[in-house]
Amino acid sequence: MAGYGLSVVNDGGVVSIDSEYARLCVLQSGRYSGGGGSAGVSFSPAITTQEPPLIFLRPDNNGGLVTIGCSISGTPGNWTGMTITGPASYSPAGKYFVGGFAASATAAFGMRLWDGASKLLFDSGTPAAVFTRFFQNWTYVKSTQDAQGFYTNWYSSPFSSSVDEYLMINNAGMRMVSGDNIGRVTGITYDFSQSQLWFTTTALNNPFIFSLPAVFAKIIA
């Protein structure tokens, strides 16, 4: 931080609150459930960040496979909800939290902290979250090809569902670069029976290099 302001350091020497930088805040949280391959969640109130909020999901352990995706509804400054998606035969269910590097003015009493541009950085009524780990140690396992000629590459990494962590789903909806103007479509599948997390990429050509990280976080307050 600058030579003036507020800085709070925990017992491990890590800066927890700073008057210049926002920490990862839990803007909303709860459970999602639905049927027919989708579950809708409305943000109440709407999230007013300019950038899309970070979506963290923890699907319920069904003892088998869970393929999930997510889309966000709204516009910059007015994000109104999200839809968790999966195969038509799947009824999405689990926990979520919506995160962002901005606090919400929720506390009836306590402490608030703004930066020099009047952006609210901290509110004692806004729960916080921390990134717990990320990994890029994917193992390429196989490729499949459909009738249209699209290749799907399958990459896996071990994971444990015993820790109360949430996976950031935003990058699982991103298109990656490939050798054409379509790009690679990405997807996430949990295999609870084998304690494996699968990332898939689908494209017309078949690039194998893959290093997109899986990012996990948890609510701490």
State whether 96 and 203 are in the same domain.
no
Number of domains in the chain: 2
pLDDT of residue 12: 67
Is the pLDDT at 180 greater than 80? The verdict is no
State whether 51 and 149 are in the same domain.
no
Q: Domain ends where: 98, 131, 164?
A: 131
State whether 67 and 155 are in the same domain.
no
Q: How confident is the model at residue 3 (pLDDT cuts 50, 70, 90)?
A: low
DSSP-assigned letter for residue 35: B
State whether 53 and 150 are in the same domain.
no
DSSP-assigned letter for residue 128: B
Task: Pick the more confident residue, 175 or 217.
Answer: 217
DSSP-assigned letter for residue 136: -
Would you say residue 220 lies in a domain? no
State whether 78 and 61 are in the same domain.
yes
Q: Write out pLDDT tens, residues 146-166.
A: 998 888 999 999 888 777 899
Would you say residue 179 lies in a domain? yes
Token pair in block for residue 125: 């009524």
State whether 11 and 47 are in the same domain.
yes
DSSP-assigned letter for residue 140: E
Q: How confident is the model at residue 211 (pLDDT cuts 50, 70, 90)?
A: confident
Measured at the alpha carbon of residue 63, what is the angle toward residues 184 and 43, in degrees to the nearest 5?
A: 60
Q: Domain ends where: 89, 109, 131?
A: 131
Do 126 and 79 contact (CB within 8 A), yes or no?
no
Q: Write out pLDDT tens, residues 13-65.
A: 666 677 666 778 899 999 999 999 999 999 999 998 888 999 999 999 988 98
Would you say residue 157 lies in a domain? yes
Would you say residue 219 lies in a domain? no
Would you say residue 186 lies in a domain? yes
pTM, entire model: 0.84
Q: How confident is the model at residue 181 (pLDDT cuts 50, 70, 90)?
A: low
Domain encompassing residue 88: 7-131
Would you say residue 52 lies in a domain? yes
Q: Write out pLDDT tens, residues 65-84.
A: 898 989 999 999 999 999 99
State whether 158 and 122 are in the same domain.
no
Would you say residue 1 lies in a domain? no
2 CB-contact burial (10 Å; exposed 0-12 / middle 13-18 / buried 19+)? exposed
State whether 143 and 163 are in the same domain.
yes
> What's the rounded mean pLDDT across residues 154-181?
81
Q: How far apart are CA 73 and CA 75, in angstroms?
A: 7
Q: How confident is the model at residue 193 (pLDDT cuts 50, 70, 90)?
A: very high
Q: Domain ends where: 77, 109, 131?
A: 131
Q: What is the mean pLDDT of the chain?
A: 85
Residues 6+ apart with CB under 8 A from 209: none
Task: Pick the more confident residue, 206 or 136.
Answer: 136
State whether 158 and 114 are in the same domain.
no
DSSP-derived 3-state class of residue 172: helix
State whether 34 and 121 are in the same domain.
yes
pLDDT of residue 210: 81
